[in-house]
Chains A and B, each alone.
Chain A
Amino acid sequence: MRKVYADTVVIGGGAAGLAAAIKLKDLSVNKVILVDDRERLGGILPQCIHTGFGVHYSKRDLTGPEFAEELSSFVLDRGVDVFLNSYALELRYVDYYEKSVIVASRKGLIDVRTRTVIVATGARERTVYEIGIFGDRPAGVYTAGMVQALMDLYGVMPGKEVVIVGSGDVGLIVARRLAMQGATVKAVIEVKPWPGGLIRNIVQCLEDFGIPLLLSHAVRRIVGHERVERVIVTKVDDKLSPIPNTEFEIKCDTVVIAAGLKPEVQLLERAGALIDPVTGGPVVNEYLETSLPGVFVAGNALVINDLVDTVAEQGETAAEGAVLFMNDKLIAKYYLRVICGSNVRFIVPQVLMGLKEEITLYGRVIMPMRRAVIRIPELMLSMQQAMITPAEIFKVNISERKISKVVKLHKLTINVLESR
């Protein structure tokens, strides 16, 4: 197999990978190879035709395709080696200083030998099977991402009477597009008692178009032969179990599954990286380095993000980490666990090693809270937030100096509490 050498290989050319590649070049890394399996760079961005991208990164409010094109041009201008239509089949940890990435493309198989790797492979959508919907499997059942691509990349109208399962932002945004193009969106069905997406999207996607949001409801069955004919919906209790005798039908020809994303970590898993069962992504330190030294991760492959600015930020952090690694400056001082306390579903990074002066923790709460306080008892740190919801990742910035003082406690517990 042909061997090619690099300093860093970035796997994935979406927002995270592009931001990482740009940063690597800005930090003067010599040979950077970016591998992406699509025909063009941008990952999922080209199908997100709404604005809200690049607000921090580019200081402009761009649409997804524009942000993708901007990042792509930065990448190409800086002399990153871009391999398109190329798929990373395997990642192998050879030793501390060398990783092997086997890449397949029309030219054949290449074994890329590299000092560091940044995995930015994004996420996949949860399927209709993973959310416990029974019944038939007719045409007309799509994930939200598929609908978005069908409409806004390929100009196809998926259906005319739609039920959307899940009220996360992706589902809300797709609901709006469907309604704009003349479909009747009969309902957005959300199993939790609160919406999964941002208020802005509830207003601009649902309220603007008169689309009902059914909280504490679940779709139980899909009925239809060749095409969806209707769904059976029930109310659920606070344990999210169906309440008997509350079933009703909604007639529709399309069911959009917008039930969340899962990090695409096949490469890392098979290479032996430690995976966090809660996030679905790898366990990382403050430079987003996985348990495989020199292998970093950023973006939705690490944890499911909401804002592309955070994704780009993670790409840059990973790039900085990779550069320090290559200069032998990524040396652990300690090993501190970050624990999820009250009302915290996950925190990333899960491990702190005293590598970085200013650390950013990303987390998500389980339930919404008003007048919330983020409390880290070991640091005696308290931060107020007027409102904290599962729809938005919260960030906590801490200085390493503070942490190094409490290293003997071996952990930091992040709690989110309602202040009295």
Chain B
Amino acid sequence: MIIIGAGVIGASIARVLSKYENLEIHLVEMEPDAGWGASRANTAIIHGGYDDDPQKYPMRARLCVRGAKLWRRWVRELDIPANFSGILVLAFTEEEIEELHKLRERGLKNGVPGLRILQDRDVLQTLEPNLNDNVRAALWAPVGGVINSIEAVIALVENAVDNGVMTHFNTRVLSVKTSCSEVVGVETSRGFIEADVVINAAGLYADEISKSAGADEFTIRPRIGEYYIFDEDAGPKVTRVLFPVPTPVTKGVAVIKTTEGNLMIGPTARDLSPSEKEEWGTSEKGLEVVWKEARRLVKALPPLNKAIKTFAGLRPEPPHGDFILKSYEEPYGFINAAGMRSPGLTSAPAVAYEVVRIMKEELGIELEEKHQWNPFRRGIKRFSKATNRERAELIQEDPDYGVIVCKHRLVTKAEVIEAMKRIRSIGAEITVRGIKYRTWAGMGRCQGAFCILQLIRLIAEFEGIALWSVKLTKRGSEVGIGDIYTLV
């Protein structure tokens, strides 16, 4: 069977399916590495589950709550950095306080535990010292928090591969092939892969895949969200995840502290046309809105000159707002796991189990659990997160832990080498971005001005390729165009 897309959805499905016997699972991804679609540029929040109206968006409502619960176990099993700090939805007016009550009711209906409306200023202040003085009340959702979304995808893929899943990176699915109304495989940029079951987790491109299979025809619109990230030393930060009262369109601009300790604000929500799925650029207006909206929620933001990076993410917006998660009579064997807009990340584990249910109940596939399935995966040991004693031990085990490659995030050579080995072990291509995502090198205030060169040297040596040909991201993103006399 084939899973198209190694983002958080595809990787979650791969992990869960790897529990079952006799499934030859191929995870097919068009990029050189995992998680480079919507999964790499989002707010990385584990949502509460009160935002999704069970009437209008039954899938979202059900899977978000279930997913949030599953993540608690998954982050422990897979060693994914996460901080379940809780979410505060902030109300500034009477109407907004009414909204909070509605949200709470909806949350109760959806089965979200622990929701409370707080109006006592002292309590609110204790929960969140950087709360704006104009906040009148808040919905407190202790179940929510933040996760390292890109590390989550990487962890999922590593675990899936460990449990037998095969990967195909740099492989673009061109179309799903059917015969006699049954799925027979996929045509890719690297040849044909046979399969009886094809699961479409292709994110922004899921509509094209579904259409090629002759299943549902729908249009995925890219929805762009812009963000600011601040210097790890810059404050004031926040303790909880802060949201305004949501609108029908979007949850609004959030203020969070990432798992790496940086303050982050965003996103906006602007729909682009379906032809703009490659347009990941920031805009002056978008960033202005982010700043203005975030400012409302807190007492203070750090000064703008402490922002170390701005970026934008694209979410795959389905036509009617709910996930497209189903199988079809024709073509038999094709399952859509598409339109995973917010709360896609939160729902991912639950989406994976839903796919299992669909396979069993709707496709009639018998699934038998393996006797030997490894639920555990350890992340790369991080020098930056270790105590000095632990650091001394790390260096003793591996002296390359004593060589600092990225000074702002304290990433060592040992971690970079480990990252390269791990990229290889999942069958992906080694790129500078892949190492950045696995080690956090280059994610500090200098944005890699010092260390990117060291990463490039290490990659060139590891792969035995010329320095200039090392890729930053995908093909066409090589560091240089040749050696220094190339143009002469």
Q: Which residues of A contact B (CB under 8 A)?
A: 1, 37, 85, 87, 89, 102, 104-109, 124-125, 127-130, 134-140, 143, 145-146, 149-151, 154-160, 181-183, 220-223, 225-227, 253, 266, 269-270
Select B481's contact among A107, A160, A220, beta carbons within 8 Å. Answer: A160
Select A125's contact among B310, B403, B446, B477, beta carbons within 8 Å. Answer: B446
The answer on a CB contact under 8 Å between B453 and A146 is yes
Q: Complex: how many Å from CA A139 to CA B484?
A: 18
* Distance (whole angstroms) from the CB of B42 to the closest CB of chain A: 16
Known contacts A146-B452, A154-B457; decide if A182 and B309 are in contact (CB<8 Å).
no
Q: Complex: how many Å from CA A297 to CA B456?
A: 32
The answer on a CB contact under 8 Å between B481 and A127 is no
Enumerate chain A residues within 8 angstroms of B400, measured Cβ to Cβ: 106
Q: B305-337: which have CB < 8 Å to A?
A: 305, 307-311
Q: Which of B147-155, B209-217, B279-287, B420-428 contacts A (4 or more CB under 8 A)?
A: B279-287
Enumerate chain B residues within 8 angstroms of A220, measured Cβ to Cβ: 284
The answer on a CB contact under 8 Å between A226 and B483 is no
Enumerate chain B residues within 8 angstroms of A143, measured Cβ to Cβ: 449
Q: B450-488: which have CB < 8 Å to A?
A: 450, 452-453, 456-457, 467-468, 471-488
Most chain B CB within 10 A, of A128, A139, A155, A222, is at A139
The answer on a CB contact under 8 Å between A129 and B402 is no
The answer on a CB contact under 8 Å between A138 and B477 is yes
**Nearest 7 pairs of A and B residues by beta carbon:** A182-B487, A226-B476, A139-B477, A106-B399, A156-B480, A87-B404, A136-B281
The answer on a CB contact under 8 Å between A129 and B447 is yes
B395 at the interface (CB under 8 A from A): yes
* Distance (whole angstroms) from the CB of A285 to the closest CB of chain B: 25
Enumerate chain A residues within 8 angstroms of B477, measured Cβ to Cβ: 138-140, 226-227
B278 at the interface (CB under 8 A from A): yes
* Distance (whole angstroms) from the CB of A60 to the closest CB of chain B: 27
Known contacts A129-B308, A139-B478; decide if A154 and B392 are in contact (CB<8 Å).
no
Enumerate chain A residues within 8 angstroms of B478, measured Cβ to Cβ: 139
Most chain B CB within 10 A, of A127, A129, A221, A270, is at A129
Select B407's contact among A37, A136, A227, beta carbons within 8 Å. Answer: A37
The answer on a CB contact under 8 Å between A139 and B392 is no
* Distance (whole angstroms) from the CB of A311 to the closest CB of chain B: 19
The answer on a CB contact under 8 Å between B402 and A107 is yes
The answer on a CB contact under 8 Å between B287 and A104 is no
Enumerate chain B residues within 8 angstroms of A150, measured Cβ to Cβ: 453, 479-480
The answer on a CB contact under 8 Å between A181 and B233 is no
* Distance (whole angstroms) from the CB of B459 to the closest CB of chain A: 12
Known contacts A108-B396, A158-B481; decide if A124 and B449 are in contact (CB<8 Å).
yes
The answer on a CB contact under 8 Å between A108 and B283 is no
The answer on a CB contact under 8 Å between B446 and A124 is yes
Enumerate chain A residues within 8 angstroms of B193, measured Cβ to Cβ: none
Known contacts A106-B400, A129-B308, A136-B281; decide if A145 and B480 are in contact (CB<8 Å).
no
CB nearest neighbor in B for A102: B388
* Distance (whole angstroms) from the CB of A127 to the closest CB of chain B: 5
The answer on a CB contact under 8 Å between B403 and A106 is yes
A-B contact pairs, 7 of them (CB 8 A): A127-B308, A127-B309, A135-B281, A143-B449, A154-B467, A157-B468, A253-B481
The answer on a CB contact under 8 Å between A109 and B392 is yes
Enumerate chain A residues within 8 angstroms of B468, measured Cβ to Cβ: 156-157
B408 at the interface (CB under 8 A from A): yes
Q: Complex: how many Å from CA A87 to CA B402?
A: 8
The answer on a CB contact under 8 Å between B446 and A106 is no
Contact code string B383-412 (vs A, CB < 8 Å = 1, else 0):
000001101100110011011100110100
Q: B192-244: which have CB < 8 Å to A?
A: 233
The answer on a CB contact under 8 Å between B395 and A109 is yes
The answer on a CB contact under 8 Å between B446 and A226 is no
Give the contact-size bracket for chain B. Answer: 35 or more
CB nearest neighbor in A for B446: A124
B445 at the interface (CB under 8 A from A): yes
CB nearest neighbor in B for A147: B480
Known contacts A146-B449, A157-B487; decide if A104 and B395 are in contact (CB<8 Å).
yes
The answer on a CB contact under 8 Å between B402 and A105 is yes
Q: Complex: how many Å from CA A107 to CA B402?
A: 7
The answer on a CB contact under 8 Å between A134 and B281 is yes
With A157-B483, A181-B488 known, 4 other A-B pairs at CB within 8 A are: A108-B392, A124-B445, A139-B478, A160-B481
* Distance (whole angstroms) from the CB of A170 to the closest CB of chain B: 12
Select A156's contact among B280, B408, B446, B467, beta carbons within 8 Å. Answer: B467
The answer on a CB contact under 8 Å between B476 and A227 is yes
CB nearest neighbor in A for B389: A1
* Distance (whole angstroms) from the CB of B413 to the closest CB of chain A: 9
Q: B12-49: which have CB < 8 Å to A?
A: none
The answer on a CB contact under 8 Å between A157 and B281 is no
CB nearest neighbor in A for B383: A104
Q: Complex: how many Å from CA A183 to CA B481?
A: 11
* Distance (whole angstroms) from the CB of A164 to the closest CB of chain B: 16
The answer on a CB contact under 8 Å between A157 and B278 is no
Enumerate chain A residues within 8 angstroms of B482, measured Cβ to Cβ: 156-157
Q: Complex: how many Å from CA A308 to CA B484?
A: 27
CB nearest neighbor in A for B393: A108
Q: Complex: how many Å from CA A145 to CA B453?
A: 10
CB nearest neighbor in A for B478: A139
Select B476's contact among A89, A139, A149, A160, beta carbons within 8 Å. Answer: A139
The answer on a CB contact under 8 Å between A139 and B402 is no
The answer on a CB contact under 8 Å between B403 and A156 is no
Q: Complex: how many Å from CA A102 to CA B410?
A: 13
* Distance (whole angstroms) from the CB of A299 to the closest CB of chain B: 16
Enumerate chain B residues within 8 angstroms of A155, measured Cβ to Cβ: 467, 483-484
* Distance (whole angstroms) from the CB of B390 to the closest CB of chain A: 10
Select B487's contact among A109, A125, A160, A227, beta carbons within 8 Å. Answer: A160
Q: Complex: how many Å from CA A109 to CA B452?
A: 25
* Distance (whole angstroms) from the CB of A129 to the closest CB of chain B: 5
Enumerate chain A residues within 8 angstroms of B279, measured Cβ to Cβ: 136
Enumerate chain B residues within 8 angstroms of A266, measured Cβ to Cβ: 233, 407-408
Q: Complex: how many Å from CA A78 to CA B376?
A: 55
* Distance (whole angstroms) from the CB of B452 to the closest CB of chain A: 7
Select A1's contact among B392, B403, B450, B456, beta carbons within 8 Å. Answer: B392
Enumerate chain B residues within 8 angstroms of A109, measured Cβ to Cβ: 388, 391-392, 395, 402
Q: B263-314: which have CB < 8 Å to A?
A: 278-284, 287, 305, 307-311
The answer on a CB contact under 8 Å between B484 and A226 is no
Contact code string B335-367 (vs A, CB < 8 Å = 1, else 0):
000000000000000000000000000000000
Q: Complex: how many Å from CA A329 to CA B310?
A: 49
CB nearest neighbor in B for A111: B388
Known contacts A104-B391, A226-B476; decide if A151 and B308 are in contact (CB<8 Å).
no
* Distance (whole angstroms) from the CB of B131 to the closest CB of chain A: 27
CB nearest neighbor in A for B284: A134
